[in-house]
């Protein structure tokens, strides 16, 4: 959205585009990769939660038609064109369509373990597809795509993305970053009501940061790429859920809680890194200051096919531009 036309690199300027929580949406990932050219970014930063949440079985019926589920309704699909269109649409909103005979659907429906295996296979297939797409689009450029895992991401994606061309995937590391900066990578999140793949208690976060912080050379030139946002801020406010994952209402209104990381905000207050990049709480779209540190959560509305992100310009150890955008 905000595009500096001149003066890049020549004066040590680095422009990065940051997005998070794409959750399997093909259209959002393609937009993310294409944003490098669109916004003239030097680096693409992906803040975790690449993987999606639902498989949509498309069950072939005896008459050659297909039954599936969309927008809360069962849909009947006829013909190859309709099927291809339906499959594409599901991928774009972050779902994993799986065409199968009705009998196979009925078998899977009764077998949670088989469902989980199918899920993981489809998730990993899409991660590979994304890696290939990024490699194709960014080939010949010097634009890295850096990423870390979110709390929803299976451990198995690490190996795929670590080996992928043009993906610069890290977890629990402090690495050199373009322009003489450093990036601290810390994925996962604090515990959630969903008991997701990568969750850590506050005590574990204390240990994780104790491992990472000594690797930072100069905190004023360090970017924290930490999936979970700092606790008690505009970046981590979300509705409170009960044990059945239903929104808790108080006086007829949804109760709000903060779901971020206390350890993180304590560390940011104490060490004052240059910048904090966060995700996890899709509702927490905001840019705030914690002392001198600018912290950003671009939020996520991936099911709508709209990519929310932040375009950030660094120059001479300062954040000269940090703009939330939608594209």
Interface positions, 81-110, toward another protein (CB under 8 A): 82, 86, 89, 92-93, 105, 108
Neighbours of 106 (CB within 10 A): 13
Radius of gyration of the chain from its Cα atoms, rounded to whole angstroms = 21
Alpha carbon distance 274, 254 (integer Å): 35
Residue with smaller CB distance to another protein, 27 or 143: 27
Least distance from another protein to the Cβ atom of residue 156, Å: 14
How would you classify the pairing of strands 256-258 and 275-277? unpaired
CA distances from 13 to 114, 277, 299, 318 (A): 50, 18, 25, 10
Q: What element of type H or E holds 70?
A: strand 66-70
For residue 317, report the phi and psi dihedrals to the nearest 5 degrees.
75, 10
Tell me if 31 contacts another protein by CB under 8 A: yes
Among 18, 39, 177, 185, binds another protein (CB under 8 A): 39
- Choices 50-58, 124-132, 167-175, 265-273; region in contact with another protein by CB under 8 A: 50-58
CB-count exposure of residue 307 (10 Å: 0-12, 13-18, 19+): buried
Tell me if 194 contacts another protein by CB under 8 A: yes
Least distance from another protein to the Cβ atom of residue 206, Å: 22
Least distance from another protein to the Cβ atom of residue 205, Å: 17
β-bridge partners, 175: 183
Residue with smaller CB distance to another protein, 272 or 321: 321
Least distance from another protein to the Cβ atom of residue 61, Å: 12
Residue with tokens 């594209």: 327
Alpha carbon distance 206, 219 (integer Å): 18
Least distance from another protein to the Cβ atom of residue 304, Å: 7
Least distance from another protein to the Cβ atom of residue 28, Å: 9
Among 135, 219, 301, 319, binds another protein (CB under 8 A): 301
Tell me if 54 contacts another protein by CB under 8 A: yes
Tell me if 190 contacts another protein by CB under 8 A: no
Asked if residue 30 lies in contact with residue 134, where contact means CB atoms within 8 angstroms, the answer is no
Tell me if 64 contacts another protein by CB under 8 A: no
For residue 18, report the phi and psi dihedrals to the nearest 5 degrees.
-115, 130
Tell me if 288 contacts another protein by CB under 8 A: yes
Tell me if 239 contacts another protein by CB under 8 A: yes
Tell me if 323 contacts another protein by CB under 8 A: yes
Residues 113-142 that bind another protein (CB under 8 A): 115-116, 118-119
Least distance from another protein to the Cβ atom of residue 213, Å: 24
CA distances from 77 to 72, 86, 92, 306 (A): 15, 8, 18, 26
Alpha carbon distance 209, 17 (integer Å): 25
Nearest to 184 by CA among 262, 275, 309: 275
Tell me if 78 contacts another protein by CB under 8 A: yes
CB-count exposure of residue 259 (10 Å: 0-12, 13-18, 19+): buried
Among 41, 48, 138, 151, binds another protein (CB under 8 A): 151
Tell me if 53 contacts another protein by CB under 8 A: yes
Asked if residue 32 lies in contact with residue 309, where contact means CB atoms within 8 angstroms, the answer is yes
Among 20, 225, 233, 293, binds another protein (CB under 8 A): 233
Total site size for another protein, rule CB under 8 A: 87
Residue with smaller CB distance to another protein, 12 or 254: 254
Residue with smaller CB distance to another protein, 105 or 130: 105
- Choices 2-10, 138-146, 200-208, 261-269; region in contact with another protein by CB under 8 A: 2-10
Alpha carbon distance 307, 46 (integer Å): 12
């Amino acid at each position: 959205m905000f595009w500096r036309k001149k003066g890049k690199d020549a004066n040590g300027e680095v422009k990065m585009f940051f997005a998070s929580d794409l959750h399997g949406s093909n259209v959002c990932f393609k937009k993310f990769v294409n944003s490098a050219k669109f916004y003239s970014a030097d680096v693409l930063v992906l803040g975790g939660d690449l993987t999606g949440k639902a498989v949509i079985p498309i069950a072939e019926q005896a008459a050659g038609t297909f039954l599936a589920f969309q927008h809360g309704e069962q849909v009947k699909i006829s013909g190859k064109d309709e099927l291809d269109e339906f499959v594409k649409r599901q991928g774009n909103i972050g779902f994993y369509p799986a065409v199968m005979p009705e009998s196979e659907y009925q078998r899977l429906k009764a077998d949670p373990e088989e469902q989980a295996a199918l899920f993981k296979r489809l998730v990993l297939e899409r991660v590979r597809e994304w890696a290939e797409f990024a490699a194709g689009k960014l080939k010949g450029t010097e634009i890295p795509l850096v990423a870390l895992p979110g709390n929803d991401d299976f451990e198995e994606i690490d190996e795929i993305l670590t080996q992928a061309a043009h993906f610069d995937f890290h977890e629990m590391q402090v690495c050199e970053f373009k322009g003489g900066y450093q990036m601290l990578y810390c994925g996962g999140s604090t515990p959630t009501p969903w008991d997701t793949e990568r969750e850590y208690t506050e005590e574990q976060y204390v240990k994780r940061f104790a491992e990472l912080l000594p690797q930072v050379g100069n905190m004023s030139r360090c970017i924290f790429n930490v999936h979970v946002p700092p606790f008690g801020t505009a970046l981590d406010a979300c509705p409170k859920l009960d044990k059945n994952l239903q929104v808790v209402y108080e006086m007829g209104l949804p109760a709000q809680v903060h779901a971020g990381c206390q350890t993180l905000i304590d560390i940011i207050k104490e060490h004052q890194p240059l910048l904090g990049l966060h995700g996890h709480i899709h509702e927490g779209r905001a840019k705030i200051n914690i002392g001198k540190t600018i912290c950003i959560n671009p939020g996520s509305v991936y099911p709508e096919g709209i990519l929310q992100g932040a375009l950030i310009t660094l120059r001479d150890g300062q954040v000269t531009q940090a703009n939330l955008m939608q594209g």
